[in-house]
Amino acid sequence: MSLPVPDDFSAAPAEAPARRPAAPGPGHRTRIKVCGLTREADVDAAVDAGADAIGFVFYPASPRHVALPRAQALARRLPPFVTPVGLFVNADDATIAAAVAAIPTLLLQFHGDETPDDCRRPRRPYLRAARMAPGLDLLDFAARHPDAQALLLDTHVAGYGGSGKVFDWSLVPADVPCRVVLSGGLHAANVTDGIVRLRPWAVDVSSGVESAKGIKDAAALRRFCDAVRAADGLLEGPLPPA
């Protein structure tokens, strides 16, 4: 049974998705998801640094892919209120069901060519990745996924993400009517700017805190989380000029 905690990454009922706040207020806190975890030490370091969610990649073609038994063992290390997220790319129903059975609190992330019906069929809370190609109508994309917990905005590249490249943030309209997770090439030196400019509900990092693909760096994790908190401090002050 999922926990109805709509203000963090914990699974909230899919029939009641949260809407994007108009503007951050006092005490605003950007959520942090660290994706592509493969080692116990990295899970622990991410949690210690302040991560709200830990992502496991179930896409076999990814260098950060982790087998389900391994992900299950890693997920057991997570304390309460840190959410495990399973990243899937065009996976079949049986693969998704097996992951949910192994990790009951798993939040799904669809990162491939899944249709809205594909995303709804597991009847689980989910994030939907939007690859930010020029010409993508993000408002239409959001309208087709009204039950998504959030849209995860990633760089449009050949394949399905993981490029470490930043997309053109000007492609994001100001009136996206749902939670936004900013992803794509984030690291400690640019995440503050991304948060101040786009006001996302959450940020998602992978390669920007790695020493090698699938191997996280504890110091980089700490710097990234500190930069997110610094951005939140800026949002509590006057808004920057338009």
Taking only the tens place, the pLDDT of each residue in 55-64 is 999 999 999 9
- According to the model, what pLDDT value does residue 9 have? 72
The mean pLDDT value of the chain amounts to: 89
Residue 178 within a domain: yes
| 35 flagged as catalytic | yes
pLDDT of residue 3: 32
Whole-number pLDDT of residue 4: 34
172, part of any domain: yes
Total structural domains in the chain? 1
pLDDT score of 83 more than 80 = yes
Domain ranges, residue 135: 31-235
CB 45 within 8 A of CB 221: yes
* CATH number of the domain residue 196 falls in: 3.20.20.70
For the stretch 219-230, pLDDT in tens is 999 999 999 999
Within a domain: 42: yes
154 labelled catalytic: yes
Rounded to whole angstroms, how far apart are CA atoms 92 and 102?
Answer: 16
Number of separate helices (H) and strands (E) present in the chain: 7, 10
Average pLDDT over residues 114-135: 95
> CA-CA distances (angstroms) from residue 5 to 11, 14, 75, 120, 205?
7, 12, 19, 19, 22
Residue 164 within a domain:
yes
Catalytic residue among 35, 119, 178, 225: 35
Of the pLDDT bands very low, low, confident and very high (cuts 50, 70, 90), residue 15 is very low
Residue 22 included in any domain: no
Say yes or no to pLDDT of 177 above 80. Answer: yes
Quick one: tokens of 128? 């939907």
Please state, in angstroms and rounded to a whole number, the distance separating the CA atoms of residues 77 and 14: 26
Q: Is residue 14 part of a domain?
A: no
Tell me the mean pLDDT in the region 155-184. Answer: 86
pLDDT at residue number 156 = 82
The catalytic residue among 42, 52, 118, 154 is 154
Task: Return the pLDDT at 162.
Answer: 63
Give every CB contact of residue 47 below 8 A, 6+ residues apart in sequence: 54, 77, 78, 79, 82
* Structural domain includes residue 79: yes
Is the residue at 15 inside a domain? Answer: no
Provide the pLDDT for residue 236: 74
Q: Categorize the per-residue pLDDT at 239 as very low, low, confident or very high, splitting at 50, 70 and 90.
A: very low
